[in-house]
Amino acid sequence: MIAGFLLLATASASTVTPIQKVITMMEDMVAKGEKEKKEEVVAFAAFASFCKNTIAEKERAIEKGKAEIMQLEADILKAQSDQTTLAKELAVLTENIDAWEKDKQNLTDYRDGEKSDANELIADVKDSIESVQRAVQTVKEQLPSSFLFLQKVAKLARTPKNAKKTLWAFLSMKQPEDPLAVSAPEAASYEFQSGGVVEMLEKLEDKFRGELHDLEKAEILAGQEFTLQIQELVNQIEMATDESEMKTKKKAERAQDEAEAKGDLATTQSDVATDSKYLKDLVTECDSKAKAYENRQMLRKEELVAVNKAIEIMSSDDVTGSGEKYLPQFVQMKSKTKPHSMSLLRASSDSPIRKKLVSFLSAQAKSMKSKILLKILAVATDSPFDKVKKMIKDLIVKLMEEATEETEHKGWCDTEMGSNKQTREDKAEAVSTLTANSEELTAKIAKLTNKIAELSDSVSEIDAAVAEATALRSSEKVKNAKTIEDAKVAQVAVAKALTVLQEFYTKAAAATAFAQQDPASDAPATFSKPYTGMGGSNTGVVGMLEVIQGDFARLESETTTAESAADEEFTRFTDDSSEDKAVKNTDLENSEKDKSVAEADLTTTKKTLGATQTELDAALTYYEKLKPSCVDAGLSYEERVRMREEEIQSLQEALKILSGEDI
């Protein structure tokens, strides 16, 4: 008997009532709800920070893109205006060239006719001289043929009238067949007149020779004048042609500039549109998340208030006392070693990561002589991982901003130094032209490099945003699944409690305890009425359990709905991010191709560049002024860039260590 009593007492000490189980479950719910509420605050703070930073970044990118669009539109209008002006100038040059070509042809045709007339006239004068010479010769030799030559001279148009009259008078004399056969007076008269004719013919020959000289001289002068006029026209045509070719080339270059600007404009407009859509979706999602977060926090707060109230009610003497007295008991299965085991698990997982992180940072700081890594090392030794991660991320952002500022300063220095170099090479026109081309290509490459970097950063940021959203979504999904599962389990537990109470009170209300008997004269007094239980004092318990059951059902339903909405928002966000990333990857590939072409052109230009620089005192003075700011002192720009990149890489690897990734 005593052993049985001790066994019953031991069993009672190790068991609890259903009400105590519900109270314990609700206490666990309070602890879990408060923990999840805090975790949700921390998680949403990270999400809100992501929203704030990403929205600000996208707004800056959109603002920058709009400014680029305005500049590109202005560049396009300027290029079109330049082309219109050049087209008008080319039309004037073409009109002038056509007029000069026409003048040249007219002058040539006139010269050909003039030369033909002059040659014909010179030939006629030469023929006249020859006729006079033959006539003089035949007259002197008293040949019968002299009359034929004299007639020819007399018929010449250029023979003066007096000479013609004299010749015809001489020819009208009867020519003796033999001058020796005539009488002396006739022979003397003939000889006298022939002598006068010869003298006249010789003077006529001199006159013709003078005319021939004048004609030949005039022809030479006319030829020289023609040559000068033609050469002047040729020079004008050549100069106008060179100018036309130069302006045609310039017009083509401006057309190319317009085409490139239009291409850049289309790309920038597409980027701005993509960023704007991404920003709009992100703002919508962030606002939706913020509202959902407020609703969830309010729901959790109300839930905690309700559960604490339920605990207060369930812990009252009426409920607890009735439960200990009337309700069935069962073994409490809640494990009390779990927090301790989880604590040990966290401690055991923390220590190797921290040891690995400290070892890695110590080695990197020592090898790189980095003050930044030493600073992180000091914090990583004993600070919480969240603080270490935040500090590392902040330092990475700071280093990237410093790199951007130094790159911009170096770009400014490169531009100024390049301009100074161009000034020092002005003595060689060809070298100056090649230098200008080189600088233009360098600027284009720099612009493309910056654009590639920006696009790469944008792609990386999209990937980071998607990764962060994916991590948040995964964590949220696990938490929602656990919440739903816990709600289902709680509903089952409350339903079981309700079933036990409701079955008991229903049965108790209809029970008759046992049949009424006629009392014997020696029997003790018995119950005067049937036992129906303590339902009146326990209706609050049933009602509270029903309320708790409804709360868990609502929690399950709302968490399921929230999970579905969050999953849809995540899908839309990832789809938009994929589209944005695809557009930027296309822009990145095109920019890299353009950069490769520009780099090839720059290499070709630099190969042909070479000249001796002279008289550079003024340029060298400015160069000396630039040196303190733009010429590396101590560490070179490349060394600083390399060291900064190594520090960033080390910080990123430290983040991987903190995340448990192998490096």
Lowest mean per-residue pLDDT among 82-86, 486-490, 519-523, 583-587: 519-523
Average pLDDT score over residue span 176-195 = 50
With cut-offs at 50, 70 and 90, classify the pLDDT of residue 265: very high
Mean pLDDT of 370-397: 82
Q: Is 175 left (phi over 0), alpha (psi -120 to 50) or beta?
A: beta
Output the average pLDDT for the chain: 77
Select the more confidently predicted residue: 547 or 633: 547
**Average pLDDT, integer, range 319-341:** 43
In this predicted structure, what is the pLDDT of residue 23? 78
**Over 90: is that where the pLDDT of 231 sits?**
yes
* Residue 9, pLDDT above cutoff 50: no
Per-residue pLDDT at 500: 72
Q: What is the pLDDT of residue 659?
A: 79
- Structure-model confidence comparison of residues 659 and 342, the more confident one: 659
What would the mean pLDDT of 613-623 be, rounded to a whole number? Answer: 62
Note the pLDDT of residue 595.
87
The pLDDT, as a whole number, for residue 609 is: 64
* pLDDT of res. 333: 36
Q: Is 50 exceeded by the pLDDT of residue 531?
A: no
Cα dist from 611 to 75, 321, 403, whole Å: 34, 107, 35
Per-residue model confidence (pLDDT) at position 131: 85
For residue 15, list its beta bridge partners.
331
Residue 593 C-alpha from the chain's centroid: 12
pLDDT at 507: 63
Q: Which of 51-60, 428-437, 440-449, 545-554 has the lowest mean pLDDT?
A: 428-437
- Would the pLDDT of 262 be above 80? yes
In the predicted structure, residue 19 carries a pLDDT above the cut 70 = no
pLDDT at 105 over 80: yes
**For 352-358, what is the mean pLDDT?**
82
Q: Which two tokens stand for residue 444?
A: 């284009």
Percentages helix, strand, coil for the chain (3-state, rounded to 5) are 85, 0, 15
State the amino acid at position 444 in one-letter form.
K
Greater confidence, 15 or 207?
207
pLDDT at residue 263 in the model: 93
* pLDDT at 175 (0 to 100): 54
**What mean pLDDT comes out for the span 480-497?**
81
Kindly state the average pLDDT of the residues 586-603.
Answer: 87
How far apart are the C-alpha atoms of 543 and 533, rounded to whole Å? 17
Q: Is the pLDDT of residue 635 over 50?
A: yes
pLDDT in tens, 466-476: 998 999 988 88
Q: Does pLDDT of 77 surpass 90?
A: yes
Least confident range from 55-59, 248-252, 540-544: namely 540-544
Stretch 423-429: mean pLDDT = 59
Q: Higher pLDDT residue, 2 or 273?
A: 273
Nearest Cα neighbor of 654 from 646, 645, 663 is 663
- pLDDT of the residue at 541: 59
Whether the per-residue pLDDT at 337 is higher than 60: the answer is no
- Indicate the pLDDT class of residue 663, thresholds 50, 70 and 90: low
Residue 361: its pLDDT value, please?
Answer: 83
Specify the higher pLDDT residue, 125 or 419.
125
β-partners of residue 330 are 16
Q: For 182-211, what is the mean pLDDT?
A: 71
**pLDDT > 80? residue 645:** yes
pLDDT at 398: 85
- What is 243-303 written as a DSSP string? HHHHHHHHHHHHHHHHHHHHHHHHHHHHHHHHHHHHHHHHHHHHHHHHHHHHHHHHHHHHH
Q: Which amino acid is at 124?
A: D
d(CA 106, CA 331): 126
* pLDDT for residue 662: 57
pLDDT of residue 430: 59
Assign 18 a pLDDT band (cuts: 50, 70, 90).
low
Look at residue 245 and tell me whether its pLDDT is greater than 90: yes
Q: Which of the given ranges, 30-39, 190-199, 268-277, 527-536, has the highest pLDDT on average?
A: 268-277
Per-residue pLDDT for 344 more than 90?
A: no
Apex CA 353: angle with CA 351 and CA 358, to 5°? 95
Q: Where are the domains of the chain?
A: 95-250
pLDDT at 348 over 50: no
- Is it the case that residue 540 has pLDDT exceeding 70? no
Check residues 42 and 217 and name the one with the higher pLDDT. 217
- 268 alpha-carbon distance from chain centroid: 7
Residue with tokens 């949403």: 44
Q: Does the structure show a pLDDT above 60 at 487?
A: yes
* pLDDT tens figures, 377-389: 787 787 788 888 8
- Residue-by-residue DSSP string for 28-78: HHHHHHHHHHHHHHHHHHHHHHHHHHHHHHHHHHHHHHHHHHHHHHHHHHH
Sorting pLDDT into bands at 50, 70 and 90, what band is 627? confident
Share of the chain above pLDDT 70, in %: 76
Least-confidence region, from 96-105, 155-164, 402-411: 402-411
Q: How confident is the model at residue 509 (pLDDT cuts 50, 70, 90)?
A: low
- Identity of the residue numbered 76: I
The answer to whether residues 398 and 371 touch, using CB atoms and an 8 Å cutoff, is no
pLDDT at 260: 93
If one compares 252 and 613, the residue with the highest pLDDT of the two is 252
Helices (H) and strands (E) in the chain, counts: 13, 2
Q: What digits encode the pLDDT tens for the residues 288-322? A: 888 888 888 887 787 777 767 777 766 666 555 54
pLDDT at 411: 79
Mean pLDDT, range 342-351, rounded to an integer: 46
**Residues facing residue 16 across a β-bridge:** 330
- 192, pLDDT greater than 70: no
pTM: 0.38
